[in-house]
């Protein structure tokens, strides 16, 4: 297939977690024999912020090395020739951080006789936290929506925003996210994440800062957009704040710590059960024991208690962290089980298989969706 992907940015993951999964999907599709063309706006705020970092330009070159199949084309609204971009395309995927005007124009091309299939991809909580904003997207002429949780899939259908929608969870790119056994643990705990615009401030204090301080753990936090008050709170808790971490370096950070935690943002725990976001997938793929603040695994993605431990409050978080730091056997058992689950069910390869089944349900042939299988069967 000739596939066109419109997104905010794949070059940059600065405060932009959607790049993580899509990089892996583009890589997987390319390795399966598909031609993937990625378009992102020239003025993408994530890329601007990445380049403003002291090592931003060098990291951008690293990204191109780690993801050789990811070669986005940057465009301006005036320079984007949709007729030329869509010529010969079989599948077009539009990520939800795309401008509503672009979403509308693509739908018009589909309505006007475009032979490609057109899908909208939603990986955010705005369907509940900013419903009016999401309702502005004109999806009438789209073939359907890829939603990263079943609750979001249902919202699109119930609100009448789309006629068809499929659940398409994020997953780990296991070509990049895997254990690095040659690295020794240098600290007790690492957390990779952004402060969160007050969406989880109280939760970070209860499930991260206070347990680390109470147990006297050697801990490091990576992320961006930490206000002065947040940095002061980290310092008071004895936590090293290490700033921005390019996502492809996260496996190294995980391999140099004994344990990590997951602290979901409030919109996911309160209104969007079943969506863990991508961080747990990536951490478990790296083989690090994980303790999570509460979230409802409504879709049965994991086995809580075996893939990771769940802390319902700060005291339980302290108890779990204390046990893991003291028991290497428990750490190993938890880490191995979590990684096996990811490898069995939650890689970018699994998600590409799901996407190709959706494409076939929309009328694409098996030979289009699986070109390398066709080549192998040709005498």
| Claim to verify: residue 275 and residue 322 sit in the same structural domain | yes
| Claim to verify: residue 112 and residue 230 sit in the same structural domain | no
Instruction: Residue 327: give its domain's CATH number.
Output: 3.40.50.2000
Instruction: Please give the pLDDT value at position 27.
Output: 98
181 in any annotated domain: no
Q: Centre a 10 Å sphere on the Cβ of residue 54 and count the other Cβ atoms it contains.
A: 9
| Claim to verify: residue 32 and residue 153 sit in the same structural domain | yes
Q: 125 pLDDT band (50/70/90 cuts)? A: confident
How many structural domains compose the chain? Answer: 2
134 in any annotated domain: yes
| Claim to verify: residue 123 and residue 209 sit in the same structural domain | no
∠254-256-259 over CA atoms, to 5°?
A: 55
| Claim to verify: residue 28 and residue 115 sit in the same structural domain | yes
Q: Quick check: 266 pLDDT over 90?
A: no
pTM of the model: 0.95
Q: 135 pLDDT band (50/70/90 cuts)? A: confident
Instruction: Please give the pLDDT value at position 272.
Output: 84
Q: Tell me the average pLDDT across 353-369.
A: 97
Element containing residue 239 per DSSP (H, E)? strand 239-241
Phi-psi region of 300 (alpha: psi -120 to 50; beta: other; left: phi over 0): left
How confident is the model over 172-227, as pLDDT tens digits? 999 999 999 999 999 999 999 998 777 899 999 999 999 999 999 999 999 999 99
| Claim to verify: residue 156 and residue 191 sit in the same structural domain | no
286 in any annotated domain: yes
| Distance from C-alpha of 243 to C-alpha of 230, rounded to nearest angstrom | 12
Indicate the SS3 state at residue 338: helix
**Contact at 8 Å (CB) between 371 and 32?**
yes
- Rg over alpha carbons for the chain, rounded to the nearest Å, is 21
Full residue range of the structural domain in which residue 118 is found:
2-171+347-369
| Claim to verify: residue 310 and residue 270 sit in the same structural domain | yes
| Distance from C-alpha of 250 to C-alpha of 256, rounded to nearest angstrom | 10
| Claim to verify: residue 213 and residue 65 sit in the same structural domain | no
Q: Tell me the average pLDDT across 285-305.
A: 96
377 in any annotated domain: no
| Claim to verify: residue 153 and residue 230 sit in the same structural domain | no
178 in any annotated domain: no
Q: Quick check: 374 pLDDT over 70?
A: no
Distances from the Cα of 214 to the Cα of 60, 239, 311, 313, angstroms:
39, 12, 16, 14
Q: 379 pLDDT band (50/70/90 cuts)? A: very low
How confident is the model over 88-104, as pLDDT tens digits? 999 999 999 999 999 99
Q: Give DSSP secondary structure letters for 109-152.
A: HHHTT--SEEEEEE-SSHHHHSHHHHHTS--TTSSEEEESSHHH
Packed helices 328-345 and 314-326: angle between N→C axes, nearest 10 degrees: 110
How confident is the model over 41-81, as pLDDT tens digits? 999 999 999 999 999 999 999 999 999 999 999 999 889 99
Element containing residue 180 per DSSP (H, E)? none
Instruction: Residue 361: give its domain's CATH number.
Output: 3.40.50
Q: 249 pLDDT band (50/70/90 cuts)? A: very high
98 in any annotated domain: yes
Q: 129 pLDDT band (50/70/90 cuts)? A: confident
55 in any annotated domain: yes
| Claim to verify: residue 229 and residue 255 sit in the same structural domain | yes
| Claim to verify: residue 75 and residue 206 sit in the same structural domain | no
* Percent of all residues in the chain with a pLDDT value above 90, rounded to a whole number: 89
Indicate the SS3 state at residue 304: strand
| Claim to verify: residue 26 and residue 149 sit in the same structural domain | yes
66 in any annotated domain: yes
Buried b / exposed e along 8-27 (16+ C-beta atoms within 10 A)? bbbbbbbebbbbbbbbbbbb
């Amino acid at each position: 297939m000739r596939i066109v992907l419109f997104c905010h940015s794949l070059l940059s993951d600065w405060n932009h977690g959607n790049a993580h999964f899509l990089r892996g999907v583009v890589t997987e599709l390319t390795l399966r024999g598909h031609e993937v063309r990625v378009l992102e706006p020239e003025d993408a705020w994530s890329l601007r912020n990445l380049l403003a970092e002291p090592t931003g330009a060098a990291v951008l070159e690293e990204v191109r090395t780690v993801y050789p199949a990811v070669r986005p084309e940057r465009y301006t609204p005036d320079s984007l020739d949709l007729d030329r971009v869509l010529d010969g395309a079989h599948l077009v995927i539009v990520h939800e951080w795309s401008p509503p005007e672009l979403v509308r124009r693509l739908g018009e091309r589909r309505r006007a006789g475009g032979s490609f299939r057109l899908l909208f991809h939603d990986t955010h909580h705005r369907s509940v936290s900013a419903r009016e904003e999401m309702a502005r997207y004109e999806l009438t002429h789209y073939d359907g929506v890829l939603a990263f949780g079943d609750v979001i899939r249902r919202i699109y259908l119930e609100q009448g925003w789309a006629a068809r929608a499929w659940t398409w969870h994020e997953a780990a790119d296991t070509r990049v996210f895997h254990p690095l056994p040659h690295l020794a643990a240098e600290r007790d705990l690492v957390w990779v994440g952004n402060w969160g615009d007050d969406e989880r401030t109280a939760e970070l204090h209860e499930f991260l800062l206070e347990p680390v301080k109470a147990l006297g753990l050697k801990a490091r936090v990576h992320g961006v957009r930490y206000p002065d008050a947040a940095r002061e709170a980290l310092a008071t808790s004895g936590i090293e704040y290490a700033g921005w971490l390019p996502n492809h370096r996260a496996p190294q950070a995980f391999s140099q710590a004994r344990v990590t935690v997951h602290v979901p943002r409030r919109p996911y725990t309160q209104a969007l059960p079943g969506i863990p976001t991508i961080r747990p997938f990536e951490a478990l793929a790296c083989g690090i024991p994980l303790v999570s603040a509460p979230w409802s695994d409504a879709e049965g993605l994991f086995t809580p208690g075996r893939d990771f431990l769940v802390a319902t409050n700060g005291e339980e978080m302290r108890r779990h962290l204390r046990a893991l730091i003291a028991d290497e056997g428990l750490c190993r058992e938890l880490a191995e089980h979590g990684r096996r689950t990811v490898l069995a069910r939650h890689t970018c390869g699994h998600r590409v298989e799901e996407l190709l089944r959706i494409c076939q349900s929309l009328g694409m042939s098996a030979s289009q969706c699986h070109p390398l299988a066709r080549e192998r069967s040709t005498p």
